Structure 1
């Protein structure tokens, strides 16, 4: 009787190897051959001599998938015709099949050894592999030839393929063939097929496949693996560049880096319905966006609605005319009144989109509703994607992304911190793969991963390093226009201009104000109008109306935050200009007296409208003087009686024709202390005001220094003067006019057409020759930050900061107003005003204010720390240190652009990489020296792609613990030069890869699917049964069947039958136990979820490549000394 090998009682692998051990050759015929499966028999064949009579002959049939067999049955009723063309085709297909085998799964040391052994055995003629083509061959036959006169041939016949599963892991049915007549017949059967004309030798192909796979004995270049990472990470950028074409009208207008931005943005917009163009100031976002809209006009016949600040509407109208855009341009301020009645536009372009940070505002809601109603694609333009929190960024994305939409990725770092996806979903009742989930994260790497899908952002430094040419005559970097013009990159040079400020001089009117005494007085203010919620009467004697209740809620939310802003804002005005400060103090006193007047006369209190209560609206420097007629415009008064009389007049105007500009609330809803604190603050402010009662502009030493700079040091050059406040700008205009200065203008938020003044100041860069004539062109332009958005001002190369912002980024952005494409000067001079005595007074007073505000538990400034809390920054600025005003680091560059540039620079340097890198097999690995760092000595970088097509990277240390999953940080860690030497791999390289992939699989599997809307059956059933299961743990009701049903609901969508059935029962209020039984029953009948076969069979991520980092202390030859940037996933933003 033959012996049965079923891999249960008897394992084929053992029987076969026992026989091979005493054999000198063998013939195998299998329907399927897994290269990794060769390790099961390789050792026994290794000791054979090789050659025709001492080798293993392996015959592989062309086994096909069942679906393909069925298809062929209906397509080919007659016999398959085999010819050379068919043979070549099948040979290629099988070669690809073997290649694909080696890219599946996680590499192991055992697999690597076995594959290398197979390659060597084929080369040494110990193994010969042929492919049988005449017809489909499914036979599974193993013949072993021994030097035995009685049983020279032993065969094994049955169902097992030459795979690990077939030989030992899965149930099979095989028998041994010992009877020699049968064995000889089987040997002849094999020989006939082996010698068939359409049985072709593929041994060399297998050797080539193995020797060019990750299992090759050659050492792959670390540089090639690094470039492979960049190649795959830049896929979005490369697809966009190949997918679209620049419209003809823009081809000669756009520089190379701008064209790349257009094409990458087009890919994002087409694929995801939204894109944010976030290049830093001066790189041409407007023309990039114009070209982008033109692509969608030409290719998809879409029209565009452009929403932008009122001051740059004329600029957009110029672009519309110049490039014949099919677009409607609307000031964004009209959105809440005009959008509801506007016809459908399929593209909405929002310029300066960072102004839409507050999603509670009416304007935001109007724009969001228009986009949703019309299913519009959205283009966002901003040089500052977020101000201080990632919520700013999220709110802009919310304009076109539903908060609960599955976006395919999750905030991995935050999920790890919060206990994982299941815990996250239980806490927040939302899927981890949503924008709502990302809003919970404070990790920069999470947001970098999210914005990879939507953001195109490059910095000036990035463009300079990657796109600029070098002028050999002077060494300067420049960009080349298609017409031959050169646009140079100037150096930003910080300069100081000083003015006298002496506290010991009684005649120094500014020194009297800019003092510790005034700072202490500002700090001591109660500021009751900014914390009205603290004065509400809780006794309940007077009940508010419904409208007043809403107003009260808003007051309660303001409180302490606005107090800190108000104090800091007063101090900033003091630093800006003595006169502007006095004017602000005067307004503040008047507003207090308006409240005092209303309370004493038992009148309603005027409160800023609900939207004006928001912090963002308050921070805008809105000049309230527009509320008054010209004759009643606020002037400096110095007694409480004068202010009380004026308050009565102003209140009458507020209650009359200006009534609708305010919310109104009963004074009786507040306690008496409100009036007391209002009067106390008014008294303190009057004392401060009287310190400057004799303010004389002619003796203003700061404006005198400005005048000297404008008329002597730079008497012929264009100068852009920035101030933070309209009061200061108006004061400078009035005083410089009095002194006879010509050819200058002042632009504030109240200016009707700021763009016109930009044209007059910079006609060349704006292509407006009509403004170059005498009397029209301006030499000096004074402006608030109203001109800091979207204007070309690069005819000038001098910027002067009349007041010093607290954040150095503001200075960098202002320099960017003139440091733009087309700037002709080799230097941008950036002046800042400083007291002659130095910086100590400024630092001391700002620190004093910060300390006082902190003691009051208020919020400092506009969420700014003075110069980011870094004294070195302000000292460097004062000492005119080069580089202090350059762009921030290139960590701001979007990952797709960054990776694409690595790829592009590499292939520009070596064209052969265009073939070499795409041809590198997946799972390939290399090893390089690890740079010196504080995080690890050795480790492995693992780059994978999930079944959902998400790129996931991990850097693990020598113990397999994840150090970071930041793609940017890992790419920087992998960075190396072409000459980087390849090293032998770490002994545990493959084990570390396995641990990293295990982390990735665990995260992916736990994230699962999208439960849908909270009102949907899937969402409700999942949460009801999860709660029930937890309550019943430890009882008979918490069954494995219920657990598996809950897991299926979480992972897979419901079938329509299940939706209908569950919705019907949910409406009737089904109880937990009955629902559990119903769901289990539906699962058993395969009526519950849509479970994809391929998903259940294989969810392992594809390994793209890995890079070992080896500790070679004392012999490191690599150049990467920044092994791990600070933005790893353990660092919160």
Structure 2
């Protein structure tokens, strides 16, 4: 009989052995084995099955793995001990053996509540009751591989062992028998209200591990593991949901569709984590309302809210402020509005509110900034960008930023980087010291931009070919900061929202260009006539004083750029209407005459005058917007010649050449203006004709034909509403006057600063006009009528016609607006964003904006959720006789534009060779925009977010997250009950990528390992990889791997027989593949670490990395959560 001994699984205590399992192997013979343990692992049971066959009876009392109301997911976590890379591949075999062990009749199992019993006891009673062969072990070791010492563990165990010849053993045996017979030890348990044998329950649970899972289940398992924290965010019982309780009581939040509320929650989460986020939902999905809800949340949290928007969108945002009687009046919105262009020349301080930069825009404890159309801040060297960063972002303590932007990304990924930099106050390493761990935005985007440029040059390019070259870090960043949904996405994965969009008819395309304007027969001839050099806008090019290099060259650069912009402006106005072109030409001509008069005065009287450019507010605003939209690296231009560096006529050394070039341009302008004046007289006289619907203006005539046909159509209950969009106020006013004078009624126009109707209304405030044009939307839906309902003791009226009856009595002035409706609305792009005009079902683009997103935004005014119209129609007027001619026109304009910016006092012959050599530096319309414009001939559906357009939605994993959320709502229990370590396989198809993929393994790894089997364990890092059998990555990033899995999710399960049968050689190949992948990844990360050390210093680098790279990528430190064999 031996003496008591300690067993700690570390120090040799008996026969040179240290582990509990060695003790059991040494002393177990025939007899009965009794065990009490809070937890167990399948590996321990499998070991018993293989090694302790001579035991005649097993009695085990185990802690109850599930409490009342607890999720089964927690139970499965408790059983997972074999998830390291070496062991996880054998998990199927292990659980099979564990189940076989439990199925034996000689195995009896009972359970007690985990909190009732923490004891760990192993008792062996010899068959012949020989005390020398009886023993007990009591202490800390659970019935797991780590506890028994089968597998190495960092835990220190401590147990005491003794044999059967003393009172301690008898007392321990009596204690066990007493517990076994007690009411606390239960043979049966209740699961979901159904009584079940605990042993059978364990068998069912373990059987999940060796079930043959199909690819779809493992695909959703991967999505669940990647995004389950996001799912919890939408859980009403989550901590985050409790934090937004105040927001849930607001009208803005409650008016949102569920998908919009999810967007708001996601944005709030991202902003809380990273101090900023980007909202880039497709047109018509309610970016404005979602932004308002986020603004309200942070306002309620004590933040001052500051909004920057383009000038034309001011009224869209101002109308929701407290006092403007919107439907959100009770929410009492308080935010300060400034224009993008206010971020220069101290314009921030020029408002009636008297806010100064120091007292209002700086030194705030909490500041929340919203930037609408943030893509205008794509140049981080621009004056406005720097002002925003230096004077505001870096001068406040706690700043959070929400960026609203269009979906497509046109030419430069660097533009996207610069928007991200705004979130971190312009810092390149701003995302280094958080969970994103991005050392340098610049380095990350330089690599991505190279890939983008290489991809762009391929004429047969597929978007997937570009995305497949992006590193995982890129998606980690973009997915963390972007919310970007498409209509297809929300309709597909938010079925419970019952989202109803109107049916869209195929676009109506009208190909028409100016003809027969006096002696000018065609658009081509018109363009030839305006091939002037814009000399009056480029006096600096005729100056000689090169010794003042920096100031002069800056002025030369500005004036070249201004001349180019003036040419583009002139051509775009010609594409819009002959009248807008005519007005602009007259303005240019008058400026030329003014400059020439000053030159003549100088020559005659030696009066040295400074040249000043006096642009109309409208043209200056247009030039500023064009500058914002320009993709070049040009800095913002101050459109006043000589303002920063005064140009005196005496400074123009080549004055003779300057004057000659002025006079040459003036003569060309005089001739074409003469033709246009005669044409204008003809048009004005047409109103006296018998047939007022006929016109020499062929475009106007076609417009009138379309309006008449539309208003006589029975579609949508004889809906007569038509909205006509144009880029230019001159075009809008011309159409208004022409239609009104030719007999069209119920008509109005809206521009950014002027609004008129045919019945005498005239104001800067366009809201009353919109209320008359769209009363169902603007009055019934968007106004706050709660005070009237309360006054009349009514609940909100849900039927429009009932509301009309009510409002007739309760608000006669409102009823009068409904009775005096406007049917034809002509508008500039001041209404192309943020406005709901869904009463209308017919939209006309009178001109084609060179930015296709603007066209989509226009159509989005009538293509709205909940539209009362079943069918809507869009018409596009193209400024050429065919689409091919339209492209040729753009090419010609682009070539001419290059020359306009070059020519000055030097003589450059205007020919195709010169212009072609300059082409494609910075095209007017990018290849992506051309693709979108081409599609606009055929469809309105998701143009800005289709499969071949690079947009923010392609840089987000939101579609996968939404797909999971949809399934989670229906099959939450099934998802949560899928154990870790399970696997599947399929035969691959090579249709998704241009380059073929190869055989290998897709695996999801988690760091650090869940060594404590804790249900609450969270992995610091998750790695989704697709490796070949040599450890080389097959696909580089998470987006591609998930797309590949989605494509194969319905494939039949196929796993090579050797792997399914746990053949050691086959499994070793998989182990080798993962280890090699980890080695390569470790080396890559170490190289990055060295770069960080060199650029940021050792202290900062070490402080931002709690784990070493070697620790993270050590195979034994990672759990293999799930895996897929690709054949």
Task: Report the TM range for the smaller structure's normalisation.
Answer: 0.5 to 0.7
Aligned to 2:646: 664
Q: Equivalent residue of 2:822, what SS?
A: coil
Aligned to 1:694: 675
Aligned to 1:116: 96
Aligned to 1:281: 283
- Asked if residue 461 in structure 1 is aligned to residue 505 in structure 2, the reply is no
- Asked if residue 322 in structure 1 is aligned to residue 383 in structure 2, the reply is no
What are the within-5 Å matches in structure 2 for residues 432-443 of structure 1? 443=470
Aligned to 1:452: 479
2 CA distance for matches of 1:221 and 1:510? 74
2 CA distance for matches of 1:735 and 1:248? 46
How far 1:831 moved relative to its partner? 0.8
Q: For each residue in 1:379-424, what CA deviation from the matched residue of structure 2 results, as whole angstroms up to 9, or x when unmatched?
A: 4444448665444444444444232332422569999989999xxx
Find the partner of 1:514 among 523, 527, 538.
523
Q: 1:869 to 1:859 in 2, by over 3 A?
A: same
Aligned to 2:846: 802
Find the partner of 1:51 among 56, 71, 94.
56
Find the partner of 1:216 among 188, 201, 209.
209
Aligned to 2:980: 922
Find the partner of 1:236 among 230, 236, 244.
230
Asked if 1 retains the 8 angstrom alpha-carbon contact of 2:720 and 2:823, the reply is yes
What are the within-5 Å matches in structure 2 for residues 491-510 of structure 1? 491-499=504-512, 507=516, 509=518
Aligned to 1:375: 398
Q: 1:159 to 1:26 in 2, by over 3 A?
A: farther
Aligned to 1:268: 270
What are the within-5 Å matches in structure 2 for residues 970-1119 of structure 1? 970-975=1041-1046, 981-984=1052-1055, 987=1059, 992=1070, 995=1073, 999=1077, 1003=1081, 1022-1023=1093-1094, 1050-1052=1101-1103, 1100=1117, 1103-1109=1120-1126, 1111=1127
What are the within-5 Å matches in structure 2 for residues 79-98 of structure 1? 98=78
What are the within-5 Å matches in structure 2 for residues 793-942 of structure 1? 793-834=837-878, 837-850=881-894, 855-858=916-919, 863-865=924-926, 868-870=929-931, 874=934, 878=937, 883=941, 888=946, 892=953, 895=956, 897-907=958-968, 910=970, 913-933=971-991, 934=993, 935-942=996-1003
Asked if 1 retains the 8 angstrom alpha-carbon contact of 2:308 and 2:372, the reply is yes
Q: For each residue in 1:1002-1042, what CA deviation from the matched residue of structure 2 results, as whole angstroms up to 9, or x when unmatched?
A: 7589759999xxxxxx999x54998xxxxxxxxxxxxxxxx
Q: Equivalent residue of 1:101, what SS?
A: coil
2 CA distance for matches of 1:322 and 1:771? 21
How far 1:807 moved relative to its partner? 4.7
2 CA distance for matches of 1:93 and 1:712? 63
How far 1:239 moved relative to its partner? 0.7
Q: 1:805 to 1:170 in 2, by over 3 A?
A: closer
Q: Equivalent residue of 1:799, what SS?
A: strand
Asked if 2 retains the 8 angstrom alpha-carbon contact of 1:806 and 1:867, the reply is no
Q: 1:198 to 1:903 in 2, by over 3 A?
A: farther
Q: What stretches of structure 2 of length at least 5 have no aligned partner?
A: 188-196, 350-354, 449-466, 603-607, 631-637, 684-695, 713-718, 755-763, 784-812, 899-914, 1009-1018, 1060-1065
Q: 1:169 to 1:334 in 2, by over 3 A?
A: closer
How far 1:494 moved relative to its partner? 0.4
Q: 1:86 to 1:398 in 2, by over 3 A?
A: closer
TM (norm. structure 1) is: 0.66
2 CA distance for matches of 1:982 and 1:849? 57
How far 1:448 moved relative to its partner? 4.6
How far 1:164 moved relative to its partner? 10
Q: Equivalent residue of 1:765, what SS?
A: helix
Q: 1:918 to 1:364 in 2, by over 3 A?
A: same
Q: Equivalent residue of 2:488, what SS?
A: helix
Q: Equivalent residue of 1:462, what SS?
A: helix
Q: 1:9 to 1:397 in 2, by over 3 A?
A: farther
How far 1:593 moved relative to its partner? 7.0
What are the within-5 Å matches in structure 2 for residues 92-241 of structure 1? 98-103=78-83, 107-124=87-104, 163=146, 166=149, 189=169, 192=172, 196-197=176-177, 212=205, 216-232=209-225, 233=227, 235-236=229-230, 238-240=232-234
2 CA distance for matches of 1:710 and 1:683? 43
What is the count of residue pairs matched by the alignment? 929
1 CA distance for matches of 2:68 and 2:76? 12
Q: 1:183 to 1:732 in 2, by over 3 A?
A: same
Asked if 1 retains the 8 angstrom alpha-carbon contact of 2:774 and 2:840, the reply is yes
How far 1:789 moved relative to its partner? 2.0
Find the partner of 1:725 among 725, 728, 732.
728
Q: 1:32 to 1:455 in 2, by over 3 A?
A: same
Asked if 2 retains the 8 angstrom alpha-carbon contact of 1:409 and 1:450, the reply is yes
- Asked if residue 779 in structure 1 is aligned to residue 807 in structure 2, the reply is no
How far 1:833 moved relative to its partner? 1.9
Find the partner of 1:408 among 418, 435, 452.
435
Q: 1:199 to 1:45 in 2, by over 3 A?
A: farther
Q: 1:165 to 1:1024 in 2, by over 3 A?
A: farther
How far 1:155 moved relative to its partner? 13
Find the partner of 2:773 among 734, 758, 761.
761
Aligned to 1:311: 315
Aligned to 2:580: 580
2 CA distance for matches of 1:554 and 1:185? 104
Q: Equivalent residue of 2:700, what SS?
A: helix
Tell me the C-alpha RMSD between the 2 structures.
6.2
How far 1:748 moved relative to its partner? 3.0
Q: Equivalent residue of 1:766, what SS?
A: helix
What are the within-5 Å matches in structure 2 for residues 583-598 of structure 1? 583-585=583-585, 587-588=587-588
Q: 1:525 to 1:105 in 2, by over 3 A?
A: farther
Find the partner of 1:962 among 1029, 1033, 1041.
1033
Q: Equivalent residue of 1:786, what SS?
A: helix
Q: 1:93 to 1:746 in 2, by over 3 A?
A: closer
Q: For each residue in 1:785-815, what CA deviation from the matched residue of structure 2 results, as whole angstroms up to 9, or x when unmatched?
A: 2211212222211111112234543332221
Asked if 2 retains the 8 angstrom alpha-carbon contact of 1:227 and 1:917, the reply is yes
Aligned to 2:456: none
2 CA distance for matches of 1:108 and 1:560? 67
Aligned to 2:912: none
Q: Equivalent residue of 1:975, what SS?
A: helix
Q: For each residue in 1:29-52, what CA deviation from the matched residue of structure 2 results, as whole angstroms up to 9, or x when unmatched?
A: 999998487599679628x46633
Q: For each residue in 1:684-709, what CA deviation from the matched residue of structure 2 results, as whole angstroms up to 9, or x when unmatched?
A: 68537635631214222212222333
Find the partner of 2:664 among 640, 664, 683.
683
How far 1:780 moved relative to its partner? 2.1
How far 1:940 moved relative to its partner? 3.8
2 CA distance for matches of 1:1099 and 1:443? 29
2 CA distance for matches of 1:131 and 1:286? 57
Q: Equivalent residue of 2:506, what SS?
A: strand
How far 1:733 moved relative to its partner? 3.7
Q: What stretches of structure 1 of length at least 5 have no aligned partner?
A: 63-83, 422-439, 470-476, 480-486, 623-653, 1012-1017, 1027-1045, 1055-1088, 1112-1133
Q: 1:213 to 1:708 in 2, by over 3 A?
A: same
